[in-house]
Structure 1
Amino acid sequence: MENNNIKAYLSDVLKNMPDDWVRLTTHRLDIYDESKAKTQFIEQFEGLFNNINANKESLAALPTAFDYIRLGHPLSCVLEWAVAKFNNLPTDGVISFASSTMPIMAILRKNLFTQKATRIVYTDSLPQHFDAERIKTVYGYNFELQKVGSINEVSAFQGNTIFLCQQEALFDISLTDEIDFFVSIHPHLGSLILVNGEANQEYIGEIQHVRRRESIAMTPSNCQVALQLLTEQQTEESIANPSEQKQAVLSCIKDITGSNTKAIVGSSGLSVQYALMMGLIDYSQTEYAGKAIKFVVPPNCYGGTNDQARRVAACSENIEVVDLLVDSGNNMVDSLDSVLGKIAQEDAVAFIIVEIPTNPRVEVPDLEKLKQVLTESRKTANGEQAVDPVFIIDQTFCPNVSFLGEEDILSEVRTISYVSGSKFPSGGLCTAGYGLANKRGAALMDKIEEHLLLCNNEATDLQLALLAQQMPSMIQRIADAYVNTRAFVNFIKEQLPEAKINFVSEELAQQSFTPSVFSLDLPTKGDTAEERETYKRGLNNKLINMMIGQIAESKYCVSYGQLKGVYWTIPATSTQGTTKEEDKDYIARVSCSPNMDLEKHRQVFRQFVEEIQ
């Protein structure tokens, strides 16, 4: 009876839910309590269920679910809540993935550190691209495989047992005492992992972290279909001609980047980055056997990049993250020259990951000097030729800049570029990202693609359709957004000349570096550094609250490249959330769009200046 009540309630929820639950990559960040990000939505949703309240207004008033769609969103939370109820599990004991592989990898990763044995049991076959040998040699994970005729054949095991079930009937789940983790894999929608038993509750946070950093939750549209299946409703029609949509995206990527090499399109920017990192590790193990691997990363680079790089390095004694100082008075080129010299002396392999422009200071290195440093011939301590580095650019801020063409400045450097698709490529409509190399780095892409497939982190059909729809207009949207951003920056300089604004120069803009995001270091006062920092943080919040309070199109959000409005955030509390405290910048970051009420924003900023003077 309880299950029928849940299904009836979910049917009403699907009818009345806000469109944004399916449409947006970030939901209601104006109702966001970071300390309760993983619990608040479900607590209030369950309250509505208990009161049999599924009206539009109540559902629309629910707070943010998690903090970003990679980690979870309203529909993934609702789906997981329902499956947990049906299987008498704690609400957080069910976790959805867009990938069929990554929930398995999450268990294997944790057990690598605890040195706990893992058994993967399956009936018919393993997921299509599950390469057991490569997972052991490249990822360093240990496990044994066992094929059985049915779940009833699963015996006791000294360690963890993961039971895999590939099925159209996603919710046909049976838990036994011999199974620690049940992974139900749908051929098109993604997967659900159920954490069984109190002893395994400690894995929940680890599984969520893998979903946040190396994969994504089951997408909103697929969660909607899953809930329709659960409630026995008619499902939405599938995407027409998905192969044509993918070819359209690949053609756009080729035109925008000027590169003819193989491109990959992943479920998120971080999914692409994970494929890059693991593919490069695999390549290095083959081509440079025995050499240490160094991932060179700015310490205040975007939090997801930083965290993922360190998580990858933690899994192998042969891999290390090396800090590259690029901001706050440090010069990327000089820092890189120093770091590469030391790595060459150690006869190690350098994979460099940088953002250009940097975040949040929006700085661009001297590209001629950068080229010189990257192409310099270096020797090992034994006088042998050092391995030339691979330069990986997170181009999310300026995907319009050409780095990969044969006539471009880095053509002599093995260069890879990748972009988060939730920004400019889709205008905020999906999370899919893409990556590819220049001609000199083309040989790297086969391994990288293999690891994207192994992790089952490719973009979904709908994500590809959204990119195919939005990418043809991307270059023009970037240009239009830059015009608005430059106008707003100039206005702020006039109104508050003592503020420090981090934005590209007019000269850089002439070189196609036309981001639509800038950071604003507001003037402060106080007798001590602590007093000045506290005062400045207070001003940050005052400005942001005035903007989102008085302008409907202004939002508190970590994103940019959106189709409409202006996004505001403080990097240290969002994009830099996992960086070390001493490397954080507590400055306001502002992101403008091609479609915004510039005059209204000027008006509110003028009011802000009057109130603080």
Structure 2
Amino acid sequence: MKENKMLIYIKDVLGNMPADWLNLTTHRLDIYNEQLAKTEFLEQFETLFNTNNSQLSALHQLPTAYDYVRLGHPLSCVLEWAVAKLNHIKPEQVIGFSSKTMPILAILRNNLLANKNTQILYNGELPKCFDAEVIKQVYGYKFTLRKIENLSAISSPENFQHANSTILISQQDNITYFNLNPNIDFFINTHQHFGSILVVNGKQNNHYIPNIQHVRRRETIAMTPANCLSALKRLTHPSSQNKLAHYKTNKAIVLDAIATISGSKTKALVASSGLSIQYAIMMGLIDNALEKHKGKTIKFIVPPNCYGGTNDQARRVATCNKLVEIVDLPVDGDNNMVESLDTVLNQIAIEDAVPFIIAEIPTNPRVEVPNLKQLKAVLSAKRKTSKGTLAINPVFILDQTFCPNVQFLGEGKIFSTLKTISYASGSKFASGGLCTAGYCVGNKKTEIIMDKIELHLKLCDNEATDTQMKILAKQLPTMNQRIIDAYKNTREFVNFIGKNLPNAKINFVSQELAKQGFTPSVFSLDLPTKGDTAEEKEAHKRALNHKLIRLMISKIPNQSKHCVSYGQLKGCYWTIPATSTQGTTKEGDKDYIARVALSPDMDLERHKKVFLDFVDSI
């Protein structure tokens, strides 16, 4: 009876849900409490359920669930809540993934660090993408595999003699049904199209939950809104079928667009998110280095104040492999990327280590572009080890999410002769903010490495979904024009601020760089401050940041938004990197400045007027 009530309520919710539940990729910061993200959403959702209130107005007022859809979103939370209800467990024990293999890897990662033995039981077939040997050799995870003929076999004591932790994987059409057994620590149901749902079984395993969620946040994504909706519809209508997009056709359009945009004719790869593709890049590079440079230390060179996801993921990868280390690369402000990189590469050469560089051009959030000719010279310089032998050449991994239209890799371009891989987050310009899918492309020097990256992208089952590919197929062909139009708005707004608030420091590209093709639509703003001490000045500046953002959003609520993203189709987006994109960055490396992102479609004159109100108020 309770199950019927729940299913009827979900059916009503799906009929009335806000459009943002399906279409929004970045959270509304105005109704977002990070510490209580999922619990706060579900507590209020449960109240609506208990009062049988499924009205659109009530659903619209629910607080933001999680943050990006990578970690979770309203529909993933509702699906996990429904699975919990059906199986009489708590919602936090249920974690949905777009990937079929990443929940397994999340548990294995935790057990590697805890030095626990893991046994994987599976009924039927393992996910096709699961490559046990590669997972053991490259990821370093330890486990045993055992196929069981039927679920009753899990009661046999001999199945659990040598394992501290046991996983049961079942591939089934009814992804929401679990036959829970106390002998199993983790149940994973996989679905060919939706992804997977993981149940953490028993209180003794609750400490795994934050770590598993962090894998979902950094190395993959939650089950997508579109697939969660399909799974929920199938739950309420068992005969409901998932209508697949024309995947091959859409993929061909996407790959052709990436080739045109990047100027590179080599194979491009499309992932479920920017961090998914970055993870495949990192693991592919490690795999290649383990083969080509056996026993040598692998050094990932990473700016300490770059996007928090990049920073955090790189350090998480290093934590799992004794041969992998992170080297900080100061790039912003008083630090020069080229000089810093030269110093770091010289030291790595002496150590005879394998250098991989991850860098953003332009940088985030200071929007700086290094001297590219000098950068090329540093990257291509021949260096010697301490023994006098030739050092290993670096691979440059270029995050060009801010300016994905700049051609670095094609024949005759600045980095065409260096081992360079470029990638971009798809939730920005590529999709116009409509999905999270990201992509990467290499030049001819990296064709073998790209094969390795593709191997790990598929192993992690982190390729773009049908719906994501459909969105990219529609949006990518118009991306370059949108970038041009958004840049025009941004340049005009930057010039306006410079004229009316000349004491503010604006971080944006110069006219000279714009002529070279660097036309971002995002800038950062250091507001003029006052005070007798450095602490007072910093506190006053931070207060002004919030005042400006609150004013913009309250005066132009239909366009100005609290948001950490950029590249959207409409509106203007405001954030403070230190409290959003740099959430996991070390405190000393954070930027407490305002970052503003403009779109090609917005009321620029209205924004100018409200900004003048702000200037008058200070």
The TM tier, using the shorter chain, reads over 0.9
Unaligned runs of 5+ in 2: none
Matched with 1:587 is: 593
Deviation (angstroms), 1:291? 1.0
What are the superposed Cα offsets for residues 338-367 of structure 1, whole Å, 9 maximum, x if unpaired?
A: 000000000000010000000000000000
Matched with 1:210 is: 215
Q: Secondary structure at the match of 1:417?
A: strand
Q: Is the 8 A contact 2:93 2:201 kept in 1?
A: yes
Q: State how far apart, in whole Å, the 2-side matches of 1:529 and 1:29 are.
A: 29
Q: How does 1:180-191 map to 2 (within 5 A)?
A: 180-191=185-196
Aligned match for 1:268, one of 255, 267, 273: 273
Deviation (angstroms), 1:313? 0.2
Deviation (angstroms), 1:232? 1.3
Matched with 2:475 is: 470
Aligned match for 1:259, one of 264, 267, 270: 264
Deviation (angstroms), 1:173? 1.2
Instruction: Letter of the 2:513 partner, please give it.
Output: L
Q: State how far apart, in whole Å, the 1-side matches of 2:231 and 2:29 are.
A: 25
Matched with 1:28 is: 28
User: Is residue 2:360 matched to residue 1:362?
Assistant: no
Q: Is the 8 A contact 1:267 1:460 kept in 2?
A: yes
User: Is residue 2:61 matched to residue 1:61?
Assistant: yes
Q: Secondary structure at the match of 1:424?
A: helix
Aligned match for 2:288, one of 266, 283, 290: 283
Q: Secondary structure at the match of 2:170?
A: strand
Q: State how far apart, in whole Å, the 1-side matches of 2:262 and 2:130 are.
A: 31
Q: Is the 8 A contact 2:27 2:563 kept in 1?
A: no
What are the superposed Cα offsets for residues 365-390 of structure 1, whole Å, 9 maximum, x if unpaired?
A: 00000000000000110001111000
Matched with 1:97 is: 97
Deviation (angstroms), 1:32? 1.3
Aligned match for 1:327, one of 332, 348, 354: 332
Q: State how far apart, in whole Å, the 2-side matches of 1:239 and 1:594 are.
A: 31
Deviation (angstroms), 1:430? 0.3
Matched with 1:295 is: 300
Unaligned runs of 5+ in 1: none
User: Is residue 2:360 matched to residue 1:351?
Assistant: no
Q: State how far apart, in whole Å, the 1-side matches of 2:205 and 2:485 are.
A: 51
Aligned residue pairs total 612
Q: State how far apart, in whole Å, the 2-side matches of 1:10 and 1:37 are.
A: 21
Q: State how far apart, in whole Å, the 1-side matches of 2:315 and 2:169 are.
A: 29
Q: Secondary structure at the match of 2:496?
A: helix
User: Is residue 2:248 matched to residue 1:243?
Assistant: yes
Matched with 1:44 is: 44
Instruction: Letter of the 1:12 partner, please give it.
Output: D
Deviation (angstroms), 1:30? 2.1
Q: Secondary structure at the match of 2:305?
A: coil
Deviation (angstroms), 1:27? 3.8
User: Is residue 2:398 matched to residue 1:393?
Assistant: yes
Q: Is the 8 A contact 1:21 1:27 kept in 2?
A: no
Q: State how far apart, in whole Å, the 2-side matches of 1:35 and 1:70 are.
A: 16
Q: Is the 8 A contact 1:297 1:321 kept in 2?
A: yes
Matched with 2:81 is: 81
Deviation (angstroms), 1:87? 1.1
Q: Secondary structure at the match of 2:314?
A: helix
Q: State how far apart, in whole Å, the 2-side matches of 1:410 and 1:41 are.
A: 47
What are the superposed Cα offsets for residues 212-236 of structure 1, whole Å, 9 maximum, x if unpaired?
A: 0000000000000000011116647
Q: Secondary structure at the match of 1:30?
A: helix
Matched with 2:134 is: 134
Q: Secondary structure at the match of 1:38?
A: helix
User: Is residue 2:574 matched to residue 1:568?
Assistant: yes
Q: How does 1:153-232 map to 2 (within 5 A)?
A: 153-154=153-154, 155-156=156-157, 157=160, 158-232=163-237
What are the superposed Cα offsets for residues 528-581 of structure 1, whole Å, 9 maximum, x if unpaired?
A: 111111110100000000011111211000000000000000000000011100
TM-score where L is the length of structure 2: 0.98
Q: Is the 8 A contact 2:230 2:242 kept in 1?
A: no
Matched with 1:5 is: 5
| Deviant stretches of 4+, over 3 Å | 233-237
Deviation (angstroms), 1:67? 1.3
What are the superposed Cα offsets for residues 146-205 of structure 1, whole Å, 9 maximum, x if unpaired?
A: 100112101342411100000111123101011100000011011000000000000000
Matched with 1:419 is: 424
Q: Secondary structure at the match of 2:77?
A: helix
User: Is residue 2:396 matched to residue 1:374?
Assistant: no
Deviation (angstroms), 1:37? 1.8
Q: How does 1:482-501 map to 2 (within 5 A)?
A: 482-501=487-506
Q: Is the 8 A contact 2:234 2:241 kept in 1?
A: no
Q: Secondary structure at the match of 1:171?
A: coil
Deviation (angstroms), 1:115? 0.6
Matched with 1:405 is: 410
Q: State how far apart, in whole Å, the 2-side matches of 1:415 and 1:101 are.
A: 28
Instruction: Letter of the 2:273 partner, please give it.
Output: S
What are the superposed Cα offsets for residues 510-543 of structure 1, whole Å, 9 maximum, x if unpaired?
A: 0000000000000111111111111101000000
Q: Secondary structure at the match of 1:208?
A: helix
Instruction: Letter of the 1:152 partner, please give it.
Output: S
Deviation (angstroms), 1:237? 5.6
Q: Secondary structure at the match of 2:423?
A: strand
What are the superposed Cα offsets for residues 12-63 of structure 1, whole Å, 9 maximum, x if unpaired?
A: 0000000110011024332112232232111111111111111110001111
What are the superposed Cα offsets for residues 432-462 of structure 1, whole Å, 9 maximum, x if unpaired?
A: 0000111112221000000000000000011
Q: State how far apart, in whole Å, the 1-side matches of 2:29 and 2:335 are.
A: 33
Q: State how far apart, in whole Å, the 2-side matches of 1:392 and 1:319 are.
A: 16
Q: Is the 8 A contact 1:20 1:27 kept in 2?
A: no
Q: State how far apart, in whole Å, the 2-side matches of 1:36 and 1:597 are.
A: 34
Q: State how far apart, in whole Å, the 2-side matches of 1:237 and 1:23 are.
A: 18
Aligned match for 2:527, one of 522, 530, 549: 522
Aligned match for 1:554, one of 537, 551, 560: 560
Q: Is the 8 A contact 1:228 1:234 kept in 2?
A: no
TM-score where L is the length of structure 1: 0.99
Q: State how far apart, in whole Å, the 1-side matches of 2:601 and 2:245 are.
A: 30
Q: State how far apart, in whole Å, the 2-side matches of 1:311 and 1:557 are.
A: 26
Q: State how far apart, in whole Å, the 2-side matches of 1:33 and 1:148 are.
A: 44
